[in-house]
Amino acid sequence: MIAIIDYDAGNIKSVEKAMHLLGQEVVVTRDRESILKADKVILPGVGAFGDAMSKIRQYGLEEVIHEVVEKGTPFLGICLGLQLLFERSDETPGVEGLGILKGEILRIPDQPGLKIPHMGWNSLKYPHEGRLFRGIPEDSYVYFVHSYYLKAEDESIVTATTEYSTLIHASVESGNVFACQFHPEKSSDVGIQILKNFVEL
């Protein structure tokens, strides 16, 4: 059973739908026991870093997320869910993230001719092998919607990058923790394969 953490963030429905498409039993929940019992856990998200962290804390989900990670359950952060795993974000200075991984979330630099937020399809490069990308060739395209991007402190955890005004750490893997800045659930067949790789871990 896969638990999708419900903290009032956007894109939960599309992640749930993608999981059903893969034949998975899914529960959308903020119940501690249900999350801890799940075989895999997904933290989706669209929205602002500070608001999301305040909801996570309001619903008592911070400790639960740390417990899930510590007990080795495969954990996937998507979009804002990736950003929340890190220590801080330019979007909301002074608000601490979950701090599960080291690094910071920076604003995409302005560049003439490039729109922010970055919305659309970009291709991926693989600086390190990642289990989420098994069977997916380099330069495959995935769908992004974001104004802030990850700069991980430890580059050895970065499994995919893309270029948009700067080098963006688009996906990470550290032990049982996986995360994507892009939306696999909106990335057509490539995205479904990424989610299938997560499900089959």
pLDDT for 137: 98
pLDDT for 9: 84
pLDDT for 30: 96
Name which CATH class applies to 2-199. Answer: alpha beta
Q: Are the C-beta atoms of 84 and 52 separated by less than 8 Å?
A: yes
Spans of all domains in the chain: 2-199
Q: What is the mean pLDDT of residues 54-78?
A: 98
Statement: residue 10 has pLDDT above 80: no
* Residue of 16, 91, 173, 185 marked catalytic: 185
* Residue of 16, 79, 91, 118 marked catalytic: 79
pLDDT in tens, 134-189: 999 999 999 999 999 999 999 999 999 999 999 999 999 999 999 999 999 999 99
79 in active site:
yes
* Residue of 20, 91, 183, 200 marked catalytic: 183
DSSP E strands in the chain: the ranges are 2-5, 26-29, 40-43, 75-78, 88-89, 103-107, 118-123, 141-146, 148-152, 158-163, 167-174, 177-180
Q: pTM of the predicted model, to two decimals?
A: 0.97
Residue of 201, 200, 195 lying closest to 78 (CA atoms): 195
Q: Give the confidence band of 11 by pLDDT, cuts at 50, 70, 90.
A: confident
185 in active site:
yes
- 145: DSSP letter: E
Please write down the HEC assignment for all residues of 78-101. ECHHHHHCCCEECCCCCCCCCCCC
Q: Give the confidence band of 191 by pLDDT, cuts at 50, 70, 90.
A: very high
DSSP 3-state of 128:
coil
Per-chain mean pLDDT for the chain: 97
pLDDT in tens, 79-108: 999 999 999 999 999 999 999 999 999 999
Residue 140 vs residue 9, higher pLDDT: 140
